[in-house]
């Protein structure tokens, strides 16, 4: 069994030693007796702090090759252009684009992410090679054309079978693009398939005001009200965006245990909205999580930056400096995501999976270190993430990710195929 001892590391205001055995945290103490422990790597962590690895609850890793594509566009205009070029995204582009996304997430402290895209057999292989966790949502998208349903269903069946041979860090999820882009019959089939197989469901809901208005015109109700009528809501559902919610929408989410994902940077950049109703969701006991969205719309996968923007916007539009306090913000980026995904991570506690970020605090951003979380969110940038451990193994040490140079060079040599 491999072991790592993080010696003299700052944790929750104290200096501690953290022992990792295999893939779990086995001890946290002022002093740990290591006599008789073989295969032990001792890491001097003076001037370093430990935080849980971030859990990015909504992204599209294959779209990393679309960073900077079609800027200054509305969501629907941007989507139309994305859908136009996506058929050119072959397996080679998707594989290397996903690896690039993983490099970026590792270097900014993400150890687990919920992805929604096509050909998850390719993306899961790329993620497995990078050593972090992912939940891969193969997406259903028929543009309300039910003639496409049989093929989409057969693909889900095939991919589910294949996913049984994935490595332990990757799991399958059922992706439904959105109520406005997927036929009702396919939405219901996807929901039933997920429940039958014990899978999570990931869907975009109420991202824009137009989406809601169109739903009222077409269905006579909001997207969430429509999904309730279809009978597809439940605790397995993880809903991205959720910007335009009524009181009844939030009551429905609470009733069925739906998990929302706040993607503030993408919502701001596409002018989809910014008044995310965090307080109102929290008051209903809803488990609120945080995501970056894909590089095509938010331009980076930096969870720490997303945390800062989310907190500042909540305080700003509410005109309330107490809105979204730091401890709740940290939970949104870590343990709340773990809870939604059913992963025993997101906290640095004995028995939890060893997904840990080692933060360099021996620098100006953490001086003085009066409030560590404040410094992390409001003062630092993500270069403070010095090393990253996922599942008990280093995936970055001293800012070095294995294979990073090769990945950057490969992407630069092939990405233009997407824009021919």
The number of beta carbons lying within 10 Å of the beta carbon of residue 20 is: 24
Long-range contact set of residues 376-380: C-beta below 8 Å, sequence gap at least 24: 376/51, 376/304, 377/304, 377/307, 377/308, 377/311, 377/326, 377/329, 378/308, 378/311, 380/304
The contacts of residue 164 (CB under 8 Å, 6+ apart) are: none
Q: Which residues contact 364 (CB under 8 A, 6 or more apart)?
A: none
> Would you list the domain boundaries of the chain?
3-52+348-404, 54-341
| Contact in structure between 16 and 9 (CB atoms under 8 Å) | yes
Residue-by-residue pLDDT tens, the chain, 420 positions? 999 999 999 999 999 999 999 999 999 999 999 999 999 999 999 999 999 999 999 999 999 999 998 899 888 898 888 889 989 999 999 999 999 999 999 999 999 999 999 899 999 999 999 999 999 999 999 999 999 999 999 999 999 999 999 999 999 999 999 999 999 999 999 999 999 999 999 999 999 999 999 999 999 999 999 999 999 999 999 999 999 999 999 999 999 999 999 999 999 999 999 999 999 999 999 999 999 999 989 999 999 999 999 999 999 999 999 999 999 999 999 999 999 999 999 999 999 999 999 999 999 999 999 999 999 999 999 999 999 999 999 999 999 999 999 999 999 999 999 998
CATH of region 54-341: 3.20.20.140
- Strand 3-11 vs strand 40-44: parallel, antiparallel, or unpaired? parallel
Pairing of strands 385-390, 393-396: antiparallel
CB crowding 96-112: b at 16 or more within 10 Å, else e = bbbbbbbbbbbbbbbbb
Estimate the crossing angle of helix 247-256 against helix 223-230, to 10 degrees. 40
Cβ atoms < 10 Å from Cβ of 283 = 11
Is this model's pTM higher than 0.85 or not? yes
pLDDT given at position 263? 98
Q: What is the 3-state secondary structure (H, E, C) of the chain?
A: CCEEEEEEEEECCEEEEEEEECCEEEEEECCCCCCCCCCEEEEECCCEEEEECEEEEEECHHHHHHCCCCCCCCHHHHHHHHHHHHHHCCHHHHHHHHHHHHHHHHHCCEEEEEEEECCHHHHHHHHHHHCCEEEEEEEECCCCCHHHHHHHHHHHHHHHHHHCCCCCCEEEEEEECCCCCCCHHHHHHHHHHHHHHCCCEEEEECCCHHHHHHHHHHHCCCHHHHHHHHCCCCCCEEEEECCCCCHHHHHHHHHHCCEEEECHHHHHHCCCCCCCCHHHHHHCCCCCEECCCCHHHHCCCCHHHHHHHHHHHHHHHHCCCCCCCHHHHHHHHCHHHHHHHCCCCCCCCCCCECCEEEEECCCHHHCCCCCHHHHHHHHCCHHHEEEEEECCEEEEECCECCCHHHHHHHHHHHHHHHHC
Identical fold, 3-52+348-404 and 54-341: no
Question: What's the longest Cα–Cα distance across the chain?
Answer: 70
List the structure tokens of 258: 């739906």
Question: Domain 3-52+348-404: which CATH class?
Answer: mainly beta
Task: Say what the pLDDT of residue 70 is.
Answer: 85
pLDDT at 82: 86
Cα 209 from chain centroid (whole Å): 24
Q: What is the pLDDT of residue 76?
A: 86
Instruction: Using alpha carbons only, give the angle 54, 170, 176 rounded to the nearest 5 degrees.
Output: 85
Distance separating alpha carbons of residues 240 and 206, to the nearest angstrom:
8
What integer pLDDT is reported at residue 420 of this predicted model?
81
- Token pair of 300 as six digits: 């980076």
pLDDT of residue 242: 98
The set of residues, in sequence order, having a beta carbon less than 8 Å from that of 272 and lying 6+ positions away, is 75, 207, 208, 241, 243, 266
Task: Go through the chain and tell me how many residues it has.
Answer: 420
CA 244-245-251 angle, to 5 degrees, is: 170
């Amino acid at each position: 069994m491999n072991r790592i001892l993080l010696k003299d590391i700052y944790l929750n205001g104290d200096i501690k030693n953290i022992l990792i055995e295999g893939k779990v945290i086995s001890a946290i103490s002022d002093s740990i007796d290591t006599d008789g422990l073989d295969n032990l790597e001792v890491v001097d962590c003076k001037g370093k702090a430990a935080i849980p690895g971030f859990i990015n609850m909504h992204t599209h890793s294959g779209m990393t090759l679309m960073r900077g594509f079609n800027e200054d566009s509305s969501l629907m205009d941007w989507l139309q252009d994305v859908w136009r070029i996506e058929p050119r995204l072959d397996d080679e582009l998707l594989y290397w684009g996903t690896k690039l996304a993983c490099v970026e997430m590792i270097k900014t402290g993400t150890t687990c992410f919920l992805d929604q895209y096509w050909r998850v057999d390719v993306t899961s292989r790329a993620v497995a090679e990078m050593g972090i966790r992912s939940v891969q949502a193969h997406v259903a998208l028929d543009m309300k054309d039910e003639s496409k349903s049989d093929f989409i269903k057969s693909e889900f069946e095939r991919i589910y079978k294949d996913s049984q041979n994935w490595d332990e860090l990757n799991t399958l999820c059922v992706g439904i693009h959105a109520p406005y882009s997927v036929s009702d019959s396919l939405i219901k089939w996807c929901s039933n398939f997920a429940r039958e197989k014990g899978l999570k469901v990931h869907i975009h809901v109420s991202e824009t005001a137009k989406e809601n208005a169109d739903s009222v015109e077409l269905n006579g109700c909001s997207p969430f009200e429509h999904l309730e009528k279809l009978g597809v809501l439940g605790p397995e559902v993880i809903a991205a965006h959720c910007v335009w919610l009524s009181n009844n929408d939030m009551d429905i989410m609470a009733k069925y245990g739906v998990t929302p994902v706040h993607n503030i940077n993408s919502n701001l950049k596409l002018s989809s909205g910014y008044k995310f109703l965090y307080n109102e969701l929290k008051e209903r006991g809803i488990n609120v999580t945080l995501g970056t969205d894909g590089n095509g719309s938010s331009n980076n996968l930096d969870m720490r930056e997303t945390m800062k923007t989310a907190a500042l916007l909540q305080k700003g539009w509410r005109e309330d400096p107490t809105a979204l306090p730091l401890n709740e913000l940290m939970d949104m980026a870590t343990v709340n995501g773990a809870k939604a995904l059913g992963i025993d991570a997101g906290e640095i506690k004995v028995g939890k999976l060893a997904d840990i970020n080692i933060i360099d605090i021996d620098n100006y951003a953490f001086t003085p270190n009066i409030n560590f979380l404040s410094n992390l969110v409001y003062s630092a940038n993500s270069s403070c993430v010095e090393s990253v451990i996922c599942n008990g193994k280093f995936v970055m040490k001293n800012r070095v990710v294995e294979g990073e140079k090769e990945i950057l060079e490969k992407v630069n040599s092939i990405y233009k195929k997407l824009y021919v």
